[in-house]
Amino acid sequence: MPHYKYGYQGNAENTGRAQLYNIDASYKELTAVCRAISGMDAEVATVMLEKVKKMEIPVRFIKHSKHMGHRRELGGAKGRYPEKSAGFVLQVLKNAMANASSKGILNPTVIHASANHQSTYPRTQAKGRRSRGDYVTARVEIVLGERATVEETKSKKEKVKIAEKIAEKEVKSEVKIKKESSKEEMKKS
């Protein structure tokens, strides 16, 4: 079996990770389910995935949603009930939770959840008009981290954004002062 690297490039020591590959499921549905649980607490995500598996809660589809029906539960947004994909993601999430608990992570949160197209195996019909229906597999990876570290990184990003906004305002005020001074010089001359 091949070994696939994780897409998450953060510190591996403080995270619980798990992946599953060669999945016989739609990678488009897997991507939508992963997007839905990204950023959630692990316990909340497991409850949500179990409800999706029972067709109680729909999953919002942002990409790959052409000609898809609207769901009242999502406030009129497009969505479906990807039962099979939710089952696979739930399996990987439980594995990642076990890995996180063995590393001593108390409040695991989904830091990174992604699904990708993996392999395409060509398949053709035996008789009649030759048509090709490929067999496509996918892979899923989930990384869990502690809630405090996630909040710290978010707060750092927010501080950087605030600093950038302040810098933009200062630059704008300097530009205004220069324009006003140039206007005054034009009036004097």
pLDDT of the residue at 144: 93
Return the percentage of the chain with pLDDT > 70, whole number: 84
Q: How far apart are CA 50 and CA 54, in angstroms?
A: 6
Where does residue 130 rank: exposed (0-12), middle (13-18), buried (19+ CB within 10 A)?
exposed
What is the value of pTM for the model shown? 0.74
pLDDT of the residue at 30: 94
The pLDDT of residue 93 is above 90? yes
Q: How far apart are CA 82 and CA 110, in angstroms?
A: 20
Q: Which residues, at least 6 apart from 95, have a Cβ–Cβ distance to it below 8 Å?
A: 18, 20
The pLDDT of residue 38 is above 70? yes
* Fold assignment, 15-146: Ribosomal Protein L22; Chain A (3.90.470)
For the segment 125-136, the average pLDDT, to the nearest whole number, is: 79
The tens digit of pLDDT for each residue in 148-169 reads 655 666 666 676 677 676 666 6
